[in-house]
Amino acid sequence: MAKKKIKNIEEQIIRTEYSEIMRKSYIDYAMSVIIARALPDVRDGLKPVQRRTLYDMHELGIRYDSPYRKCARIVGDTMGKYHPHGDSSIYEALVVMAQDFKKGMPLVDGHGNFGSIEGDGAAAMRYTEARLEKVTQMCYLADLDKDVVDFVPNFDETEKEPEVLPVRIPNILINGAEGIAVGMATSIPPHNTGEVIDAVKAYIKNNDITDDELLEIMKGPDFPTGGIVTNKDELAEIYRTGTGKLRLRGRVEIEEVKGGRQRLVVTEIPYTMIGAGIGKFLNDVADLVESRKTSDIADISNQSSKEGIRIVIELKKGADIKNLENMLYKKTQLESTFGVNMLAIADGRPETMGLKKIIEHNVEFQFELSNRKYTTLLAKEREKSEVQEGLIQACDVIDLIIEILRGSKDVKMAKACLTEGNIKGIKFKNPMSPAQAEQLRFTPRQAQAILEMRLHRLISLEVEALLKEHEESLAKIAKYEDILNNYSSMSRQIIKELDEYKKEFARPRRTLIENSEEAVYEENRFEEAEVVFMMDRFGYARTVDPSTYERNKETIHAENKYIYTCMNTDKILVFTETGQVHSVRVRDLPAGRLRDKGTPIDNISNYDSSKERVIYAVPLDSISMGMLLFTTKQGMMKHVFGTEFDVSKRTVAATKLMDGDEVVSVKLIGTEHNVILRTHGGYFLRFALEEVPEKKKAAVGVRGIKLSAGDYVEDVYFTTYTDDAVALIGEKEVQLNKVKLMKRDSKGTRIKL
């Protein structure tokens, strides 16, 4: 029995190349992401999560004219029925569809905190509420009951969901799309609803219309944030190929202020600045002032509100406004690019399409929807007409029908008589009735309607109404047959519906499209000057002019650890115990009054005060002709020429360290002759500086002192032969030149402290 089981298992083993399985699995995964998650369908312009969320809201009855419902209910229902990929992705999709600053035409009416244009996130789904917008109900979800789209099983085959929504306007152009799949991404800008509808109508009327002619109707992108597209001449190529770059600018206005001054007011921002970009813009403008690239700005404030964007830049008197405006375009996100890649799922596969191709797919979809809609309506109207004809005929022989019903034993017998003229078993009172009954040939549907007919339908007014209804049904049948059999009739019907949508939902264009010259500006010429660099023990640095330093020398030396006179074109080198050296441009440091706090060097360099500690700071010019002595905790020492640190990188390794070691001291060598090392255990070693060799910055160095187990170097001192230097250690003074002069790599002399 065991052998038989082993044999069966062996028969089930599939022997194949592992690489082939990985290749196939990855392709399956990639296609799943591309088709089922990341990219929109060209027909309805929606990703699966968006489509499922809207359909679920429709199924829940959360219409535009009904009360709001909690978003948590919508998300939970969507996740449980249609989209088993986590609640966060569903809620984020719902939030974006409700944000009027991201969507050209929001599809969801949000109630509560749904985020802001400045990057504030939406409130949790348990707090917010939502319902469908009117446009969504009318143009995206209408006619689902008319068999206009195919329904497919959901993930566990317990529900049915639409393969695509019956969207009657090109949503992929109106709202745009963004998505990152595997190896591909889509980025389609939003457009003006009225212009897109006009472009679709133009294509329906003339399938041979060119891209240039379409662009005369649909001018280009229309972002909800407004702004300006500055490369109009490049749009034709972008919309022909489906790829390219749009150059966007914010809209800037000039306002007069009292005192003869002016200010720049940003009233519209580029679409790419939505979110954290506004805060970054404010910081970038402040950096322009701090780095002295402009001296025309007095202040900047963000006065934006629900009414719109308003970023105010106060200017100094006599400011060069045009030059400053161009500087903002070049140096900040007030001018940026939007990469266009009109990629969508068409006929079940991803495809990059131009404008005409997208409209072509949309029009084909509209005709398919209309064909299926009017086929369904025609079938229903024919059924209705059939019943009406039967009731009208029944009214003419109502006495005979009543006699048949009274003489029948059951409904089956009566129905057989009405449909087939079968009078077997039916008792008639009038001798002429059997012959008349045998002539009856109602259809099964008509017979059922006659059996269910109420007596009040025999009133003359009701009969007249029935005749009128029948005439209307015949007119509708003729209309539907004409629409289905004639391309021109269906075209007129689609165009008529598009006109209604345009009248109801179109809005004025927000984005201006023009050809603008490239922004050219002239920076303030940087004047070389002597300054005094100061940095306190907390790492806050700044500069003052030499005259301020001379007047406040005592205070400055009391409050700061590093003080140097240098040029504002110089660099400050910051050495840390981790063996790194960070470069800081003096011109990047704030220059101002003595009492200004300065700026942390973390903000203007790669230095991280949470991970490393400053050992030494010195201007590059001060060491360019000199030599630095490095000493580590484990007693390793070396000399390095200052020119080694004149590099373009902001951070480089100043020395190589062994495991567990760190830099204790970096000192610039002057006229000193001796170096003295002090260890934690109280050992002092004094030897000649010339015993320490010169090494490259990437070297470890040589051993300066022999350390006992657990001991380490704690401090380093310099002396000359005639120096009477004293080191104060705790409360004890040590005469450094009285320490015994020995050779490098000795143990040193122990001094009780």
Q: Quote the pLDDT of residue 243.
A: 95
Bridge partners (DSSP) listed for residue 134 = none
Which CATH code, of 3.40.630.90, 3.40.50.150, 2.120.10.90, 2.170.120.12, is assigned to 530-750? 2.120.10.90
Q: Check residue 405 and give its pLDDT.
A: 81
Distance set, CA 506 to CA 172, 191, 271, 457, 499 (Å): 16, 11, 20, 46, 10
| C-alpha pair distances (Å), 181 with each of 173, 186, 503 | 20, 8, 37
**What confidence score (pLDDT) does residue 8 get?**
61
The pLDDT tens digits of the residues spanning 640-674 come to: 999 999 888 889 999 999 999 999 999 998 888 88
Share of the chain above pLDDT 90, in %: 59
Quote the mean pLDDT of the chain.
89
Residue 185 pairs in a beta bridge with 180
Of the listed ranges 448-452, 623-627, 659-663, the least confidently predicted one is: 448-452
pLDDT of residue 6: 56
pLDDT for the residue numbered 300: 92
73: its two tokens: 């209910």
Torsion of CA 632, 636, 639, 644, to 10 degrees: -60
Q: pLDDT (tens digit, 9 = 90+) per residue, 112-125?
A: 999 999 888 999 99
Residue pLDDT, tens place only, 285-296: 988 887 778 888
Residue 749 phi/psi, 5-degree rounding, is -110, 135
User: For 710-726, what is each residue's pLDDT tens digit?
Assistant: 999 999 998 887 777 78
The architecture CATH gives domain 251-333: 2-Layer Sandwich (3.30)
Reduced to 3 states, what is the DSSP secondary structure of residue 425? Answer: coil
Cβ pair 39, 186 in contact under 8 A: yes
Least confident of 219-223, 412-416, 471-475, 548-552: 412-416
pLDDT of residue 288: 86
pLDDT of residue 729: 79
Using one digit for the tens of pLDDT, what is the confidence trace for 575-623? 999 999 999 988 888 876 777 778 889 888 889 888 899 999 999 998 9
Categorize the per-residue pLDDT at 524 as very low, low, confident or very high, splitting at 50, 70 and 90. low
Tokens of 408: 């029948």
The neighbour count for residue 159, using CB atoms within 10 Å, is 14
The DSSP secondary-structure symbol of 526 reads P
List residues with catalytic annotation: 127
Return the higher-pLDDT residue of 502 and 22: 502
CATH 3.40.50.11030 assigned to domain 19-188? The reply is: no
**Could you tell me the pLDDT band of residue 30, with boundaries at 50, 70 and 90?**
low
Q: Decide the pairing of beta strands 512-513 and 228-229.
A: parallel
Residue range 391-440, pLDDT digits in tens:
888 887 887 887 788 888 888 888 888 888 788 878 887 888 788 888 88
Per the document, the length of the chain is: 753
pLDDT higher than 60, residue 737: yes
CATH number of this structure's domain 361-504: 1.10.268.10
Confidence of residue 458 (pLDDT cuts 50, 70, 90): low
Q: Where are the domains of the chain?
A: 19-188, 251-333, 361-504, 530-750
Q: What is the pLDDT of residue 15?
A: 75
pLDDT band at 313 (very low <50, low <70, confident <90, very high): very high
